[in-house]
Structure 1
Amino acid sequence: MALTELDPIPALIVIDLQKGIIGTPYNASVSAVVEHCAALIKAFRQRHLPVVLVSVAGMPPGRRDDRRTLPDTLPEAFTDFIKEIDPQPSDIVVTKYSWGAFSTTALESRLKSLGVTQVIITGVATGTGVEATARQAWDCGFNVVLPVDAMADNRPEAHNWSVQNIFPRLGETALSADILSELESRKNK
């Protein structure tokens, strides 16, 4: 794991930390993820850096072997963010209809219009929403940072595969503390 530096205008992207995906009570790994994400969100907001909160509200049509999908009518509050996220007016809120946050939204143009050149991607699930968003961000030309302690997957083998085999090819992996330290060092310059 090696974070070299943060670009002048990085954006934090938080994937699917919503009531319908996370639910409560949280298991230990998700509780730690929520804690790390909340700390990153706070640090980005304090520095007036973009925070992107992403929720999933459906999936694109198409046949697949795995028939699990979201229902046509989502339960009430399914897309509401968990309380620890506490959306603010300054946040960019994105609703997606696919695994990744870029392909079914205008997120790329929104971030580029703000001068963002780097994205820090967190949330759940590592092997689906986080990885798909990282792949799409890389395809869009963003520098990608993946704080591996700020993401989880209900399948540990999927998390480990993404972290060990996919993420090093898409960007830099790090810990939340590395990113927080880099942000803090900016204040002292």
Structure 2
Amino acid sequence: MPALDPRSTALVLVDLMERIVALPLAPRPGTDVVAAANRLAGAFRDAGAPVVHIRVERPNVDVQPAGSELVASLVHDGDPVVVKRTIGGFHRTGLHELLEARSVSTLVFAGIATNLGVESTARAALDLGYDVVFAEDAMTAFTADEHRASVELDFPRLGTVAPVSAITLDGPE
């Protein structure tokens, strides 16, 4: 996979919240996803590319469930955080405008769940004209079959699927 341009690429981390990471997931546990996402986020920050976090809130409730915070090790000062109230991360969140303001045209996705929040957000990104890359080993689902269906059947039709180790960025200009 060719190196991505950090001036036009953003990492989008979907629903890496304490309570979601702690769920029984497959093909890998949430803690493995967080570790891979941290490696990827570090590479993006080192190259000067944005790291955007998406987290879900349940609508029409006064208090969110315990563990609704993003995993603290993932969020650094200056990282934008987008709150969604649907499966996908674009609907009425300001995500598209945030990315447009930074001249982003390529999105690298990681998060939980592969076939829900990640795939829904990626499909909307394609509708909006973004190029997409999926960091396969920085995502997981509720079952291995759900993850595999997205990664093997859907994602290759939508963009590029690659392991974290293959996703590189050119250095900052």
Same fold (TM over 0.5): yes
Residue 45 (structure 1) aligns with: 45
What's the C-alpha RMSD, in Å, of the aligned pairs? 2.4
Are 1:99 and 2:98 counterparts? no
Indicate the residue corresponding to 1:6 in structure 2: 4
Q: Deviations over 1:77-104 (max 9, x none)?
A: x32111331x222101011101111113
Structure of higher RCO (CA pairs closer than 8 Å, 6+ residues apart): 2
After the TM superposition, list the runs of 4 or more consecutive aligned residues in structure 1 that deviate by more than 4 angstroms: 24-28
Partner residue, 1:157: 145
Gaps of 5+ in 2: none
Report the more deviating stretch, 20-29 or 112-121: 20-29
After superposition, the C-alpha distances for 1:55-78 in whole angstroms (9 at most, x for unaligned) are 10025x9xxxxxxxxx774224x3
Contact 1:54-1:94 at 8 Å conserved across structures: yes
Aligned mates of 2:25, 2:120 — CA distance in 1: 23
User: Quick one: percent identity of the two aligned structures?
Assistant: 34
Rg bigger for which structure? Answer: 1
The equivalent residue for 2:31 is: 31
Normalised by the length of structure 1, the TM-score is: 0.81
Q: TM-score, normalised by structure 2?
A: 0.88
Which AA in structure 1 matches 2:22?
A: G
In the alignment, the residues of structure 2 paired with residue 96 and residue 122 of structure 1 have an alpha-carbon distance, to the nearest angstrom, of 16
User: In the alignment, is the contact (CA less than 8 A) between 1:124 and 1:151 conserved in 2?
Assistant: yes
1:122 aligned to which of 85, 110, 132: 110
